[in-house]
Structures are given as C-alpha cells and as structure tokens.
Structure 1
Amino acid sequence: MTARFTRRTTVARSAKPRIAAVGAIAVAGALLLTGCGDQTKDTGNDSGTASAAPLADKLPKEIRDKGVIKVGSDIAYAPVEFKDDSGKTVGIDPDIAAAMGKQLGVKFEFQNATFDTLIGGLAAKRYDIAMSAMTDTKDRQEGIDADTGKKVGAGVDFVDYFTAGVSLYTNKGDTQGIKTWDDLCGKTMAVQRNTFSHDLAKEQAKKCEKDGKKTLKIEDFATNPEAETRMRSKGADVVSADFPIAAYSVKNAGGGKYFEIVGDQVEAGPYGIAVAKDNTQLRDALQAAVNAIIENGEYKKIIEKWGVADGAVTEAKINGGS
C-alpha cells in the first residue's frame, strides 16, 4: 500500500500523542486484531542471561538482579503490540524488546493497560518503562498537558526507535468524499482517546468552527478496535490511527473487506520508549541496546518481518521529538 506524507502545520504540540509514519508502509501478515483485558502479564520471550549479554553492566543493579524490565503497554494495537490467537503478546514492540533483551541480559515483561494510564503507571513505578507506539514530543518530555498548556507531571525521557505518521480510514466503499482533514467538517470521527489522532481531531474540530463550517464530532474510546466497531456499526464516518495500524486493519479486518484508507499520511514523528526522568542509567542502557540491534541487523529483520521498513531509524536518539 502506498501513501504520501503531508505535514499539518495547524496542530499544537501534543502532550498525549501516540504515534505518527513516513513514506509507504505495506503492512504484512494475516493475523487478526484481538482485544484484551487490563493488567495482564506476558514475558513472551527468553532473552538469555545477564552474564552472556554484552550490555548487561549498563543496567541499574536492581534491574540486573531481577532480570526483568516491566513494560507498560496498550496491547490492542496491531501490528505494534497485540495478542495472537494463543494469547501471546506479539508485534513490532515485543520483537524489538526481545532483541534488546538479548543485549541487556533481561526479559521484557509486557503488562497490559489502557494507553491513557501508561505515563501515570510509570510515575507510580508500576512499570520500568512504557513501550506502546508512543510519540516522543516536547510536551510529554516536559509533563505538559496539551489541552491546558499546564504542567501536570515531571515528564519523561524517550529513547526513539521508529518513525510513523497518522492516517484516516473509512468503511470500504463509503468514503463520503473524505480525502483530507479539511473534509472532516460535519463528519463524526471515532478515535482512541488521548492519542495523537485524538489531538489532531480536536484541532480539526476547532478549525472547522473557525472557518464557519459544521464542526467535526468526535467520539473517543479506550481502544482502537472499539473505535473501529463504532464505525462498522455506522455510528461514525471515519477513524484515525497511526498508519501502520490503519494499514493493518485495512488488510486484515474482515479479510480486507471492511475498511479503506483515504487521503495521505500526516504528522510524522518518532516512537519513543518512555523512561522516568530520574532513571537515566536505564534510559542510556536502552539507547545502547537499540543501537546495538540496529548495528547487528536484528532491528532490520524485525521491521521487515512486520512490513514497516519505511519507518526505520538509523540511530536511537534521546528526546528527539519536537
């Protein structure tokens, strides 16, 4: 599937973006989207022992001793992270985490939660990191609420490991003339709450009103599959999600008969692994691990396996989002 990238300049900095995608990403695989309950655990992968791992000494001692990095994640966002038919956590993020685990000598244990609770869970030390197709932005780094502009937390640091963008998709054969975000005025969008798509939708609704047009009505849901179900039932005209997720749904939902992407991708930005500001040793160890798997070729194999090679990065940056 091919799509061009378009930059939207009217959107304010977001404290709650999810992800964003550059270039064409042909999402492969025939796995079906599945939902899941909150706070389940899945170690998923055997990462080896710390003694055999080249980067183990970079980790904080307490994590080396435990042998586990606890990961907060919204595991209902195929193909980034989701449950397969056997209940195992799979996807781009779990595969990248497993490869990093080999370098660090630990297992990455994914714990499921809704996306809008992940940063709070990180602050409460329920997780060591949050890895969930989360966009690295200045607002998140600084703990700023995008809607109010007020500081609401200490902020987090990010280790950037991928790049992605946002797409619109509709029921197949029912595009209603939607080609750009400006075509959304007077429409109803279903979207996962507190994601980048949600922020873009709120900005577009304001723009519609400013231009004297009918507003964009927004219905937000805890997960993206719920938003898709709302559109399937004709309760909404369009869904917005990051391009890999949108393309995966278009390819797999209903055997490819349910949805179609409309228009171009917008707002490219980096995925980041979120780490507490005071945990710089863990942050730097994760950065070293991502760079190691980029160098040894494991990273390339993973993103090619999931059909998202156009989102590859050549270096893991700290707080590279804007």
Structure 2
Amino acid sequence: MTARTTRRTTAKRTRLAAVGSIAVAGTLLLTGCGDQTKDEGSEGGASAATGAAPLADRLPQAIRDKGVIRVGSDIAYAPVEYKDDSGRTVGIDPDIAAAMGKQLGVEFEFQNATFDTLIGGIAAKRYDVAMSAMTDTKPRQEGIDSETGKKVGAGVDFVDYFTAGVSLYTNAGDTKGIKTWDDLCGRTMAVQRNTFSHDLARDQAKKCTDAGKKTLRIEDFATNPEAETRMRSKGADVVSADFPIAAYSVKNAGGGTYFEIVGDQVEAGPYGIAVAKDNTQLRDALQAAVQAIIDNGEYEEIVKKWGVEDGAITEARINGGGS
C-alpha cells in the first residue's frame, strides 16, 4: 500500500516525507497500556554489550557501567514498536535500537508507558531516552505546550533517525466522503493525545471555525488502538496517525477488513530519539551510533525488512525538526 505525500498549508512542517508500503504481517494490538513495566524481550539483549563496540567510549561512564540505556516507549504503535504474540517488543524502533546497541556496547531496554508521559519521564530520570515514533518538533525541543503555547518544561534534544508523513483512515466502506483534511469540518476524529496528528487536528478544528464551518470534534486517547476502537464502535468518523501505523492497521486489523486509508499523506517530519537537554554526551553518542548503522548498511536492512524504505534518512541530525 502506498500513498503520496501532499503539502497541507496549515501543517507545521517545511519538508515532505513519503513513507513506502508496509508489507508486514502481525497482530494489531487493540488495547494499550502504560504500566511502566520493563520489557526484557526486546531485540538486542545482553549480547549487545559483548564483543566489539566501536563507539562505547562515547557514552557517559554511568551508562557504560550499567550496560543499559533505558528507553521510554508507547509499545502499542505497530509496526514502529509493539508486542508480538510471544510478548516480545518488536518493530522498527527496537530493531534500530538493537543495531545501535552493537555500536555502543549496551542494551536498549524498552519500558512501556503512554506516549504523553514520555518526555516527563526523561525529566524525572525514569528513562534515559524516549524512542516512540516521536516527531522532532520545535515545541518539544523548547518545552512548549503545542496547544497553549506556554513553557511547560526544559525541552529535549532529538537525534533524528527516520521520517514519516501523517494519514487519515476510516472504517472500511464508510469514508463519510473524507478525502482531505478540509473534509473534516463537522466530523469527529479519534486520535492519540499529544501526538503530531493531535496537533494537526487542533489546527484543522481552528481552520474550520475560522472559515465559518462546523468545527472538527476531537476525541483524544492514551493510545492509538484505543482511538481505533472508538472509530470501530462508530463513536468517531476518522482516525489520524503516522502513515506506517495507519498502513499497518489497514493491512492487518480484522484481516485487512476493518479500515481504509483516505486521501494522501500530509507532510510531517523526522522521528527523533529524545534526550534531556543536559545529557549532551549521550545525545552525541546516539547520533554517532545512528550514523554508523546508516554507513555500514544495517539501517538499510532494517527499513527494508519493515517495508519503509521511503522514510529512510542518510544523515543523523540533531534537532532537525523545523517547527
């Protein structure tokens, strides 16, 4: 399944990101969780801390001593990160983290949480980083609440490692005539809270109101599967999510019978690994590790495995998000 990426004039991005077909089989999680529990089955494991690790000396000594980077992640966002039938954490992010772990000589230990608590978890030192299909944006870099415009925290730095657009999808055969974001006026959207899709939805609601049209009603949920369940029950007309997630759901939910993508992707931006502003040594080590797996070909193998080659990057940037 493919979709073109088109420019949306109210979106807060300066570059386009088209993500390729998701040709991945798996089980869609229809319930989410935020139990803060550790996942010992994520790829990488203790083997990451053995053998040659050319970038190990770049890490802070405390992390080298522990041999672990604690990763806050919303593990209900297939195919980026999710639990397989055996309960292991799998997906694009865990695979990239495992490859980085070989470069750094550490294990990336994914810990489950709801998306809207991840940056706060870094500030509270519950996690060393957050890696969860998190779009690198200026408000997140600066600790600004995207809805109120107020300063709410110190912000984070990002190490960018992927790029993705945003899609709309509906119940199969029940599109309500939705083809573009401007068709959403008067409709109800279910969306995962504090995501970039949520930001775009709020922008569109204001645009509808400013144009004298019925507003877009927004229902936000802790996880994307909860938003999908709301739409399945006819409580919402449409869901918005990053294209890899939308395409995976359309392909797999109900054996491919539950949902359909409507319209084209809209521009978004880079996914970033979030790191505390004062943890520059860890940030720079992660950047070096992402660049190393790009250069040695492991990154290319991972994105091909998951069918998302069009979202691949060639340069690991810090804070590359434009707005």
Q: Give the TM-score normalised by the residue count of structure 2.
A: 0.95
SS in structure 2 at match of 1:225: helix
2:202 aligned residue:
202
Q: What SS does the corresponding residue of 2:179 show, helix, strand or coil?
A: coil
Residue 31 of structure 1: aligned partner? 26
Question: Does structure 2 retain, via aligned residues, the 8 Å contact 1:2–1:26?
Answer: yes
Q: Does residue 106 of structure 1 match 2:106?
A: yes
What is residue 40 of structure 1 aligned with on the other side? 37
| Contact residue 21 and residue 166 of structure 1 kept, 8 A | no
* Aligned counterpart, 2:238: 238
CA offsets 1:84-104 (integer angstroms, 9 cap, x no match):
011100000000000000000
CA contact (8 A) 2:19 2:164 kept: no
Matches within 5 A, 1:289-304: 289-304=289-304
CA distance in 1 between counterparts of 2:171 and 2:251 reads: 13
Contact 1:58 1:285 in 2 (8 A): yes
Counterpart position of 2:249: 249
**SS of the counterpart of 1:33?**
coil
Indicate the residue corresponding to 2:152 in structure 1.
Answer: 152
Tell me which residue corresponds to 1:140: 140
Which residue of 2 is the match for residue 76 of structure 1? 76
CA shift for structure 1 position 51: 6.0
Q: Runs of 4+ in structure 1 displaced over 6 angstroms? A: none
Q: Quick check: 140-149 or 297-306, which moved more? A: 140-149
Structure 1 gap segments, 5+ residues each: 14-19
Q: C-alpha distance in 1, partners of 2:272/2:107?
A: 19
Q: CA deviation at 1:36?
A: 4.7
CA offsets per residue over residues 198-241 of structure 1, 9 Å max, x none?
A: 11111111111111111111111111001101111111110000
Structure 1 291/24 Cα, relative in aligned 2: closer, same or farther at 3 Å?
Answer: closer
* SS, match of residue 48 in structure 1: helix
Distance verdict in 2 for CA 1:21–1:174, change over 3 Å:
farther
Shift of 1:134: 0.3
The more displaced of 209-218 and 65-74 is: 209-218
Deviations 1:26-60 (A, max 9, x none): 10221011245321211322243366211100000
Instruction: Give the Å deviation of 1:268.
Output: 2.3
Report if aligned partners of 2:71, 2:109 keep a CA contact under 8 Å in 1: yes
Q: Where do 1:89-238 residues align within 5 Å?
A: 89-238=89-238
Distance 1:24-1:164 versus aligned 2 partners, 3 A rule? closer
User: Where does residue 22 of structure 1 map in the other structure?
Assistant: 17
Deviation at 1:4, TM superposition (A): 1.3
Percent identical pairs in the alignment equals 82
Aligned letter for 2:36?
Q
In 1, Cα distance between equivalents of 2:289 and 2:318: 13
Decide whether the 8 Å contact of 1:21 with 1:311 is kept in 2: no
Deviation at 1:267, TM superposition (A): 2.1
- Contact persistence 1:129–1:273 (CA under 8 A): yes
CA contact (8 A) 2:16 2:165 kept: yes
Q: Distance in 2 between matches of 1:93 and 1:213?
A: 40
Whole-angstrom distance in 2 between the partners of 1:24 and 1:177: 24
In 2, are the aligned partners of 1:50 and 1:56 still within 8 Å (CA)? no
Which residue identity does 1:192 align to in structure 2? Q
- Relative distance call for 1:24 and 1:49 in structure 2 (3 A) is closer
> Does the CA-based 8 Å contact 1:21-1:243 persist in structure 2?
no
1:17 matched residue in structure 2: none
| Paired residue type of 1:9 | T
Q: TM-score by structure 1 length? A: 0.95
> Number of aligned pairs?
316
Match in the other structure for 1:263: 263
Residue 12 of structure 1: how far off its partner (Å): 5.2
Give 1:279's aligned amino acid.
N
Relative to structure 2, which stretch is displaced further, 208-217 or 50-59?
50-59
Tell me, in whole angstroms, the C-alpha distance in 1 between the residues paired with 2:267 and 2:17.
Answer: 9
Contact map agreement 2:49 2:107 (CA 8 A) in 1: no
Taking the aligned partners of 1:189 and 1:48, their CA distance within structure 2 comes to: 42
Q: Measure the CA separation in 2 of the matches of 1:134 and 1:23.
A: 16
The alignment yields a C-alpha RMSD, in angstroms, of 1.4
